[in-house]
Every structure is written in C-alpha cells, then in structure tokens.
C-alpha cells in the first residue's frame, strides 16, 4: 500500500497483517483519485471507515485541506495515527461507530469516503444521516466502496458508478430540488 500521487507520492504506508482487512487496492485508489482530482484542492474530507488511513492520506497528499479519520477499531486508529506521523500530517481522529461519528462530527464535508467491510451494507443509513445532519457542501460527494451496485435513495442521485472486478465505487450527490 502506497501513496499514489501528490506531495507524498510513492511513500509506503504501514498496513494490516492477515486477510481480515481489505484495503482499497492501489489500482482502484488511483482510478478513484483521478476522478476526484478536481475536487481535492482545499477539500474537507471525512474518511468514515479509515482502516490504515490510506484514502484520507491520499486526499491530503493531493491537496485536501483537512481530513477527519474515523474507525470503530482501535487497531485501525493506531495504524492511521502511525501513517499520519510517518507522513508528518495532521488530522482529526475518532474511534467511533460510523453512525455515532456521523451524528457527532461537526462541519460540512466536500467528500465523505465510506469503505466498510464488504459484508456490511451501510450506504442507505449513511446517506440518511448525511441528509438529516446536512453534512455535505453544495456539490459534495459520498463515495461508497462495496461489492454491490448501490442505488440512490430519495433525495440523492448516483452521480457515478465504476466497477473494478468485484469492487464497485458509487458516488452519491444530493439531488437538487
């Protein structure tokens, strides 16, 4: 696992041992961030299921202004902190359930990354809370990674859908009234 581009390009990140954690592959991450590139400069980002912190760190490397890292796993948070320190970057860090994080985090975000364990399906609940709490800036995106082709609930549009083998990346935006 490495940083693909930006000021930390090529830097290797500490990762998890074993097969329980499924980090976003470099190929998927590179494609995703090419799509998101115009949105990153000065962006405020929430990495909701941070794991090693790879998505949030890639965003910082490419010009994001601020990243909130969240994960329910203490091991994930420790690894994200280690990677932040190795890159001499800072971010806001929470060790909470995704719903608790969304209910308590403050401010609006330009991008919210949702990369939960594939066996889980949190997208509809995440979009509901994001709507209720008005957590996205105008034109902001919720980027969801899963094995499923996620559909948009009422009040949302699926702005983009990409498939990379078994990995599906859906990008959701609030629909305009």
pTM, to two decimals: 0.93
Tell me: the pLDDT tens digits for 66-106? Answer: 999 999 999 999 999 999 999 999 999 999 999 999 999 99
Looking at residue 21, what is its pLDDT?
57
Instruction: Band the pLDDT of 149: cuts 50, 70, 90.
Output: confident
> Rounded to an integer, what distance in angstroms lies between the CA atom of residue 174 and that of residue 6?
29
Average pLDDT over residues 143-150: 89
How far apart are the C-alpha atoms of 81 and 92, rounded to whole Å?
10
pLDDT above 80 (res 118): no
More confident residue, 45 or 11: 45
Average pLDDT over every residue of 113-137: 91
pLDDT beyond 50 at 19: no
Q: Which residue ranges form the domains of the chain, and what is each CATH number? A: 26-174 (3.40.50.150)
Side-chain half-sphere exposure of 173, counting CA atoms within 13 A: 11
pLDDT above 80 for 24: no
Angle between helices 54-61 and 26-40 in degrees, nearest 10: 40
Per-residue pLDDT band for 47 (boundaries 50, 70, 90) equals very high
Mean pLDDT over 101-117 rounds to 95
Long-range contacts of 130-134 (CB under 8 A, 24+ apart): 130/102, 131/155, 131/156, 131/174, 133/102, 133/103, 134/108
Q: For residue 177, what pLDDT is reported?
A: 67
pLDDT for residue 22 is more than 70: no
Q: Residues of the chain with pLDDT > 70: what percent?
A: 94
Residue 12 scores a pLDDT above 70: yes
Question: How high is the pLDDT of residue 116?
Answer: 87
């Amino acid at each position: 696992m490495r940083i693909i581009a930006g000021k930390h390009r090529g830097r290797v990140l500490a990762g998890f041992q074993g097969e329980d954690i499924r980090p976003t592959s470099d190929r998927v991450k590179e494609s995703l961030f090419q799509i998101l590139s115009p949105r990153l400069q000065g962006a405020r980002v929430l990495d909701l299921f941070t794991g090693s912190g790879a998505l949030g760190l890639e965003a910082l490397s490419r010009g994001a202004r601020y990243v909130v890292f969240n994960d329910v796993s203490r091991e994930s948070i420790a690894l994200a902190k280690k990677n932040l320190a190795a890159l001499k970057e800072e971010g806001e860090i929470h060790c909470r359930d995704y719903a608790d994080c969304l209910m308590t985090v403050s401010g609006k975000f330009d991008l919210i990354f949702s990369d939960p364990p594939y066996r889980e399906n949190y997208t509809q609940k995440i979009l509901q809370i994001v709507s209720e709490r008005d957590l996205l800036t105008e034109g902001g995106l919720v980027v969801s990674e899963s094995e499923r082709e996620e559909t948009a609930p009422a009040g949302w549009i699926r702005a983009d859908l990409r498939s990379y083998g078994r990995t599906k990346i859906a990008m959701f935006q609030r629909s305009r009234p």
